[in-house]
Amino acid sequence: MGISLYPGLKYERQRVYPLYYKGQPVSAYIADLEVEDTIIVELKSVKELHKTMEAVAGFSIIMRSIPTE
């Protein structure tokens, strides 16, 4: 756990989401930070945001909304 700016706000670092293909586990996605089991925060430290980074962020949102079971 880290320091929360909002006491009582639930968050988890490095949460692992298994990725499945045809019902078989094939890999895992590790979220940098998840807040209130709802919002995934991906942390980046770059001078400029590139289109590929935007695509990865969009993919993360899609993957989080797909049921794993």
* Domain residue ranges of the chain, discontinuous segments joined by +: 11-65
Q: What is the dihedral of CA 21, 22, 24, 29, to 10 degrees?
A: 20
Q: What is the DSSP letter of 17?
A: E
Do the Cβ atoms of 38 and 49 come closer than 8 Å?
no
pTM over the 0.75 mark: no
C-alpha to C-alpha distance for 9 and 49, rounded to whole angstroms:
28
pLDDT tens digits, 7-48: 788 888 888 988 888 889 999 888 888 888 887 777 777 788
Distance of CA 24 to the CA centre of its chain: 21
- The pLDDT of residue 26 is 93
- For the chain, helix (H) and strand (E) counts, in that order, are 1, 3
